[in-house]
Amino acid sequence: MKLKLSFLFIILSVSTILGQQQAKGIAITYTLPSGWQVMQEEYGSILLGHKTIPGLILLQEHAYNGREKVLTELAAGINSDGILLQANSGVRPLNNNAYFATYQGQVQGQPTKAAAVTSLSKLWQIGGVMVMTMVRSDLYNNSYETLVTNLANSIQYRPFMDTQAQQWATLVKGRKLVNIESYSTSTTTNGGYGGENSVSSSSRTEVHLCSNGWFSIANQSNSSMSMSGGMGGTDRSKDQNKGLWVLMNIANTPVFRLAFEDGEIEYHAVEDYANDQIYIGGKRFVIAGSNLCQ
């Protein structure tokens, strides 16, 4: 299980917001616990903090497909980016298709305890939201478990696509996005074999966005090195990923949400669109027909 945290155990001076909140980067509403504040909100995650209560609360999307995948991920704990937490109790089922677990370990070298509730959405085809609280081990008590349980119970799932997003999606639904990049260089040598040496590489990425909601990404890269004496070689690698896609309207910006089969979620904002070309992450993708989405 991976967490998306850019900072831990810090306090920001922000205004307190009470009541039911509509998340900006997740298709949910939730009830903000009294006294807790939104410290950071990104695509797929929300970080909450409190001015006087130690620790933090993280709401994070997941794309786990079914109960068995949730149980496996919760039992596996967390080992990434300076966070090492191991489950110290069995996973316990709750109401509303949710599961509870507690953890202990270290966060950036500091002894830490945590509690998490992971739910599966009945509205979304796969996935849901995990709510986790982490606090220094000597400050942990059962109130944190109640806190995350109540917060998880307050979550209401919403459809990913509003009317505007549905209109945007018609431009790419059932088609593919194609990005092609190439690079080459050459040098002339006088010694050894002599002649001209050249190195070239190219990559092609195809993102098939099928009308049934499934996507397939095919990456192909080629690199070659040749010398005038005839020596050379070619190395080719291929990779392919699949999952579910939607196009969301986040702050009036089209954003692709890709939920991969391994449970990971990626967001990619559209920077520009013109003449059947889309720019994402500084790269140009051409919209073309898809032979996989028939």
Q: Which residue type is seen at 36? A: W
Place of tokens 């509509």: 22
Task: Report yes or no: 202 and 224 within 8 Å, Cβ to Cβ.
Answer: no
Please state, in angstroms and rounded to a whole number, the distance separating the CA atoms of residues 127 and 214: 14
Query: Phi and psi (nearest 5°) for 167?
Result: -65, -40
State both tokens at 152.
């998880």
Task: Report yes or no: 293 and 217 within 8 Å, Cβ to Cβ.
Answer: no
Q: How far is CA 46 from the centre of its chain?
A: 13
State both tokens at 150.
């109540």
Task: Please give the pLDDT value at position 144.
Answer: 96
Task: Please give the pLDDT value at position 235.
Answer: 40
H helix or E strand, kind and range, residue 152:
helix 143-154
Task: Please give the pLDDT value at position 81.
Answer: 81
In tens digits, what is the pLDDT along the chain, a chain of 294 residues? 666 554 343 333 333 445 678 898 899 999 999 999 999 999 999 999 999 999 999 999 999 988 999 999 999 998 888 889 999 888 899 988 899 999 999 998 999 999 999 999 999 988 999 999 999 999 999 999 999 999 999 999 999 999 999 999 999 999 999 998 877 666 665 555 555 666 667 888 999 999 999 999 988 776 554 434 333 333 424 444 889 999 999 989 999 999 988 888 999 999 999 888 999 999 999 999 998 887
- Using only C-alpha atoms, the chain has a radius of gyration, in whole angstroms, of 24
Please state, in angstroms and rounded to a whole number, the distance separating the CA atoms of residues 285 and 106: 42
Task: Please give the pLDDT value at position 90.
Answer: 82
State both tokens at 241.
């990923």
For CATH 3.40.1000.10, list the domain ranges present in the chain. 19-157
Region label for 127, one of left (φ > 0), alpha (ψ between -120 and 50) or beta (otherwise): left
- Longest Cα–Cα distance of the chain, Å, equals 76
Q: For the domain with range 19-157, which CATH number is right: 3.40.50.1100, 3.40.1190.20, 3.40.1000.10, 3.40.50.720? A: 3.40.1000.10
Task: Report yes or no: 76 and 132 within 8 Å, Cβ to Cβ.
Answer: no
225: helix, coil or strand? strand
The tens digit of pLDDT for each residue in 234-287 reads 342 444 488 999 999 998 999 999 998 888 899 999 999 988 899 999 999 999
Cα–Cα separations (whole angstroms), residue 80 to 58, 64, 77, 205: 16, 18, 10, 28
Place of tokens 């004496």: 229
Report the alpha-carbon angle 174-178-181, nearest 5.
175
Task: Report yes or no: 177 and 286 within 8 Å, Cβ to Cβ.
Answer: yes
215-223 long-range contacts (CB < 8 A, ≥24 apart) are 215/242, 215/243, 215/244, 215/245, 215/258, 216/240, 216/241, 216/242, 216/292, 217/241, 217/242, 223/199
180-185 long-range contacts (CB < 8 A, ≥24 apart) are 180/204, 180/205, 181/283
Task: Please give the pLDDT value at position 172.
Answer: 94
State both tokens at 237.
């690698």
Sorted by sequence, the CB contacts under 8 Å of residue 232 that are 6+ apart come out as 224, 225, 226
Other CB atoms closer than 10 Å to residue 32's CB: what's the count? 19
Task: Please give the pLDDT value at position 9.
Answer: 37
Task: Please give the pLDDT value at position 4.
Answer: 58
Q: Which residue type is seen at 120? A: L
